[in-house]
Amino acid sequence: MSALNTICDSGSIHHRQVLALDIIKKLEDCGFEEAFLGEGERIYQRAIPDTGINVRVYTSVVGMEARESGRDAIRVCAVYDTRDGDTRGIGSSTRVHRTGDIHAIVDRMHQRMRLVWKDAATGERCTCGAPKFKAKSGNFVCADICWLSDEEKKASQYARKTKSVRGTSRNVWQRSRKWTV
């Protein structure tokens, strides 16, 4: 008797459906629940007790089948619910590419989930109790940005919004501008 071929063929709708079902089953077996955060792919999350941190899995499953290859990968990250009601990413793992054996893909996703859970649950904390995350500068900073007052946080958010709007329109203007000699 021959063994079943479980190498994921992204061109096969049957393989994409089997992969989607295996991903969802593993997530539900691990206690993750679907988070309805918008349209598109299915997102599952599970809270780490008494931390304000959720581990999220962006599954690349739309409806009841995985997306075709080359469009994206499964992503696992940790997000923190800040005191002012926002969410802030505090950690992630490398992407899980959907290549190879279907069961191996699900196992790699599970390994990434466990790694992110462990790192988020045991990570460094600020004196205010919030977790710290690694900023672009390479420094570890408080996820609640506790060193700023509420007024400074609002001013900073406003400045970022206006800067991005100005930067966007300026970039469009520069791209469309014609240089003459």
Instruction: Specify burial of residue 47 (Cβ count, 10 A radius: 0-12, 13-18, 19+).
Output: middle
Residue predicted with more confidence, 180 or 20: 20
pLDDT tens digits, residue range 123-170?
A: 999 998 899 988 889 898 889 888 777 777 677 666 666 665 554 544
Residue ranges of domains in the chain:
13-145, 148-181
CA distances from 154 to 109, 157, 158 (A): 37, 5, 6
How many whole angstroms from its chain centre is CA 61?
14
Q: Which residue has the tokens 């409806």?
A: 63
Residue 166: other Cβ atoms inside 10 A: 10
- pTM equals 0.78
